[in-house]
Amino acid sequence: MQTGKTRGERSKGMAIVLTTLSLVVMVPLVGLAFDVSTLYLVQSKLGSAADSAALAGARALALGATPGAQAASAMSAAQSFFNANLPTGYWRTTGASATVAVDDTSVPNYRTVTVNATIQAPLYFLRVFSQQYSTINVSSQASRRDVMMMLVLDRSNSMNQIVAGTGQSACAIMKTDATAFIGYFAPGRDQIGLVVFSGSTFVYPPTTNFTTADANGNSIPSLINSITCQGSTSTAEALNKAYAQIQAVNSTTRENVVMLMTDGLPTGITADFAADKLVRSGDGACNPTGPGVFVGGTVNGSMFPGASGGLSIDTTSALGNPKDAPIPSGSACHFYTNEWDVSADIAKLPSQDYFGNGTAGPYTQESPSYGAAANLTDVKDAQGVVYSAINAADNQANTIRTNTTLKPTIYTIGLSGDGAVDQQPDPLLLMKMANDPNLASISTTGQMFYNQQLGQPQGMFANAPDASQLGVAFDTIARQISLRLSR
């Protein structure tokens, strides 16, 4: 017969046995969990170091005058970033190393930087199985496609505003930052051309030797440095001229890019007013043949009041004197001596500009920034002229993005803060032109634009609140172009 004391002693004995047996199972499990957690932390750190190394190597592919020098720069940069991002002895690890390989031959106009990294991570509880450490391996690859890029820079008169705290004009700062932007790209591999615009447009065809002076002593940096800012903003024409250069090169192996920097709204419409029968029939002496730029004016610092004006020649071969000049063949027209007297000669605006871009919509009819259709029948309606110019620029950007063979991508920078309120760039327009994915989240109209442009190449819009931050915007765009990361 068992007493209560005997039963209690037996229960205590069973508890001791069960606890001992549980510890035999639980301790290895806790140890395994600790070791696995340690290995996960080490692998994450190793992967992060390999990723940063691969990206740094891909960016460094732009450094060097020859492909061999560029590959050497990439390998050196990748190794340096790997070492900097993986501290010696991290979690008592040993034997950390990375091998870097650059492949610039397998695919035309496409280069990869591959980082294979390894490290020995110590084990603690699992040493009971005679395993002192675990070897961890990761691989990361960043790719860089050679670009065919047209850099499109606004040199309109509003760029002459002095930026507070700098003593420099926005134009001067833009020239410095745009030149630095060129440094992100690889001579001999990338192709870069230049379009500089106001009412007139300057074009320098793309070349792989963009930092080397040509027979006339010009290079992309030297041309940027010689820009004088004056005139209006004929954005649609500038985009058209950039797109024409991409079409002329006709590369399907490069990443085709248009990079637009502007500090204002489009204000210029390019048309052949005589050929399009837009000249008033009673003014027989006025015959402005050939394309000219008609400009929407702004006065008194408020939104588009007053008269529109200006009908100027639309191209120039120089960067130093871009002031909009009247069309020579229009010397008998009223606007030739008084740019604000265009309505005496021109009856209405075209439904399409000189390049086939619609001027009546759709942007201004859908954007809450404006909300009205362009008025094409009254050339004295400066607001209507600007609306037309906005629509033309938007439609030209759409034409560029919908080329399914060359697949051009548009990047945009909006420089705000230095001009009059009614001259500030419209972020929604620039996001739409770039087909920035952030369109989907900024407004109902942005979501509508995003849905309309699904399947088109997606670029990026960068905002510069003032010219002192323009360099950051250029840097942001440069880092987005051509770099891809994969594991």
Residue where one domain finishes, among candidates 96, 111, 144: 144
86 and 158 together in one domain: no
98 and 169 together in one domain: no
Structural contact between residues 458 and 440, judged by C-beta atoms closer than 8 angstroms: no
313 and 457 together in one domain: yes
389 and 411 together in one domain: yes
Backbone angles phi, psi at 333, to 5 degrees: -90, 155
The tally of domains found in the chain comes to 2
174 and 50 together in one domain: no
99 and 170 together in one domain: no
Give the closest residue to 398 by CA, choosing from 486, 347, 459, 349: 459
124 and 254 together in one domain: no
CA 379 to the chain's CA centroid: 35
Look up the domain containing 412 and give its range: 147-272+276-486
pLDDT score for 338: 78
pLDDT score for 301: 35
172 and 251 together in one domain: yes
Residues 59 and 79: their CA atoms lie apart, in Å, by 13
Judge if pTM exceeds 0.75: yes
- Tell me the average confidence (pLDDT) per consecutive run of 10 residues in the chain, 487 residues long: 53 56 53 79 95 92 88 95 94 94 92 96 78 93 93 92 86 96 93 93 95 95 94 92 98 96 90 84 75 65 45 71 72 80 84 92 74 78 84 96 98 80 81 96 92 96 93 94 66
Segment holding 201, helix H or strand E: strand 201-207
B/e letters for 171-205, b = 16+ CB within 10 Å, e = fewer, are bbbbbbbbbebbebbbbbbbbbbbbbbbbbbbbbe
Residue where one domain finishes, among candidates 88, 109, 144: 144
Pairing of strands 268-271, 483-486: unpaired
51 and 162 together in one domain: no
pLDDT score for 164: 80
Which residues face 137 on adjacent strands? 118
Structural contact between residues 115 and 75, judged by C-beta atoms closer than 8 angstroms: no
96 and 163 together in one domain: no
133 and 177 together in one domain: no
